[in-house]
Homo-oligomer: A and B are copies of this chain.
Amino acid sequence: MKKEAYWIWYPGDWEVWLHQHVSVKREMRQVMFPPYWRMDYHYISVQFIYEYELDEPEEVFFKADGDFSVYIDDLDNGRFNDERITLPAGKHILRVSVYNNERVPSIYAKGKTIFTNDEWKVSCYDNQWKKPGSWKEVFHSPETIPSRYQLETKLEQPIEIEKRGNGYFVDFGKETFGFLQLIGIKGQSEIAVYYGESKEEAEDFEHCILVDHEKLDSSLGESYTFPQSRAFRYVSIVPKEKDFHIGDVSMLYEYLPVSYRGKFRSSNEQLNQIWDTSVYTFHLNTREFIFDGIKRDRWVWSGDSYQSFLMNYYSFFDQDVVKRTLIALRGKDPVHAHINTILDYSLYWFISMYDYYVHTADKEFIESQYDNMVSLMKFCLDRRNEKGMMEGIEADWVFVDWADIDNKGEVSTIQILLYKSLDSLGKLAKIIGKEKESEYYLELAEELQLRIKEYFWVEDKGGFVHRRLDGQLDEKVTKYPNMFALLYDTLDDADRLKVKKQVLLNDDVQKITTPYMRFFELAALCEVNEQEKVLDEILDYWGGMLDLGATSFWEAYDPKQKDAEHYEMYGIPYGKSLCHAWGASPIYLLGKYFLGVKPLSPGYETFIVEPQLGGLEWMEGTMPVADGEVEVYMDKQQIRVKATKSGGILRSYNGDVSYEKEIPADGTELLIDIEG
């Protein structure tokens, strides 16, 4: 194996550092708006260790991000911090201390045989030695210092610039994110920039969320790039001085380079546009971490991420952003509050870990996070009531959904998520050889599942009720617990049918109006083969946003609202995010339930393709299956499938009868005649 050097750090610390760094970029009209949760920090002083054996002395190049000192064995009074240090021959323990209180302490060393890599160990001086963190594909030269990490940028032009006074009103044609640029400026002036995801917002100087105020002076440079990247489609540029001139306006689009591996086309042009807009929405939010929305929070939220991870497996399949996001969400011990302060969001984190393993088979990451899973689960289990159920206590926020629901007491959805979390942790523990712990969690999961049925299932309502309060059943049925019960496959066939008819397809049950919960609702409908209904819903709901001119999908959408009403949320005029990751769920629905691509074993070692047209004339697409791709075409006559890796099975239906056939591993096409 060719050895090469790359930067290493205390595991998780670069992600924790980057997370705090980006989390405080949220502003409300240029005033800081920090997260509602504890922001953790990297260890500022760490030590790296590497045991070597050399036949002859070797000169090694060292570069650290921070102050560093090198010594061997226990000779800690003989320390060096030169750029090049000649290490003595023989068997020695090399130690490198690094201190940095502003950026994550990291080290890069390169000799003829000695390199920083994951054979080194690192400690924060707590008597534990760990495999270091790294991102070898990116930070593998002395110049690529981890703390200098930045997203890429690309110059973009507006589609329309309208002169207003001696300023401009500019339209970039679609939702975007980046650094506004003014070109060819002349004179000196204070200048105000009002950003808008909507035209209305950029024109409402008093209420738009994002603004910039700068003093510009052309004698310092004829073009100016604003220092903060912001989300917008429109901008109003308003110089104070009349004799100040701006030649042109552009922007540096800031983005994470990803591969658009998931592709989808169909006979329905609006559906194609929904796919494209979903992927664009999702890409805008897939950055250092996967954010909730790009205009306002720019924060990492666990429930939002849970869905985003699944969308990612059907689009970019970017493992690194998933890992970064999971590490950032979890933060450091001690756990004193739920992730994002939200009870359900702690639970989604466990399920996300399990989903990550299912899609990637990355056992190493699971191992690195195991202690974090155990301590967060301990926090959760310690907060159960005497019935073994979790309810919101102290300052816990029980979210479930933005909707008119009361989440006081034992909420059935929460118990189902806890069941799934325990089940996930139990399975992951087994995978990394923690048999005893695995049994413990799986037993808890099983017990809880029985109790959920006993407590919340109401036979004549054909489903689960929303909650119990003070030991009393609240008779209100909501879709939430029933959707999750379907998604987590905890019901027998008879109950599935009841839930489908009496809850999911029952117009008397409270409707869901956030794209967030529509994700689960529509996925659940697909689980009971309601693709045709789901297609209608997608076209109606997401199509509805497109009809209103959306170029990215929203945080919330209520078809009954009118005009600028759509932009209001949280009691402020433009509070709503018009580019929210959870708005992009058609990616997942179309990839998993229409093209029908799903892993059968971890990392798609085996996988199934069971396409369903759901009312379309035809569809075609490509989906990532870990390191391979599968291409699917289907119309009413035939299915054609090609894959670049082995393990695929095509399942097709003729009425109620299903047929399974292996997909060739050599890339040749498998064609099935449906009516044959």
For residue A458, CB closer than 8 A to chain B, the reply is no
When the two chains form the complex, which single residue of B32, B44, B69 contacts A81, counting CB atoms closer than 8 Å? Answer: B32
For residue A45, CB closer than 8 A to chain B, the reply is yes
For residue A24, CB closer than 8 A to chain B, the reply is yes
Interface contact A41-B38, CB-CB below 8 Å: no
**A residues whose Cβ falls under 8 Å from a Cβ of B:** 20-21, 24, 28-29, 31-39, 41, 43-45, 67-69, 76-81, 97, 99, 101-102, 124-128, 333-334, 336-337, 341, 394-395, 570-572, 575
Taking CB atoms, residues of chain B closer than 8 Å to A44 are 20, 39, 41
When the two chains form the complex, which single residue of B36, B99, B334 contacts A334, counting CB atoms closer than 8 Å? Answer: B334
Interface contact A81-B31, CB-CB below 8 Å: yes
Interface contact B38-A99, CB-CB below 8 Å: no
**Complex CA distance for A81 and B27, rounded to whole angstroms:** 11
A338, chain B: closest CB distance, angstroms: 9
Copies of this protein chain in the complex: 2
When the two chains form the complex, which single residue of B38, B68, B97, B570 contacts A43, counting CB atoms closer than 8 Å? Answer: B38
When the two chains form the complex, which single residue of B24, B102, B126 contacts A99, counting CB atoms closer than 8 Å? Answer: B24
Interface contact B38-A126, CB-CB below 8 Å: yes
Interface contact A395-B33, CB-CB below 8 Å: no
**Complex CA distance for A97 and B76, rounded to whole angstroms:** 42
A76, chain B: closest CB distance, angstroms: 7
Taking CB atoms, residues of chain B closer than 8 Å to A20 are 44-45, 101
Interface contact A127-B77, CB-CB below 8 Å: no
A79-B125 CB under 8 A given contacts A24-B99, A44-B41, A45-B24: no
**Complex CA distance for A69 and B29, rounded to whole angstroms:** 11
A31, chain B: closest CB distance, angstroms: 4
* CB-nearest residue of chain B to A66: B32
**Complex CA distance for A395 and B49, rounded to whole angstroms:** 16
Interface contact B24-A67, CB-CB below 8 Å: yes
**Complex CA distance for A395 and B123, rounded to whole angstroms:** 13
A414, chain B: closest CB distance, angstroms: 18
Interface contact B34-A99, CB-CB below 8 Å: yes
Taking CB atoms, residues of chain B closer than 8 Å to A39 are 43-45, 125
Taking CB atoms, residues of chain B closer than 8 Å to A32 are 67-69, 79, 81, 97, 99
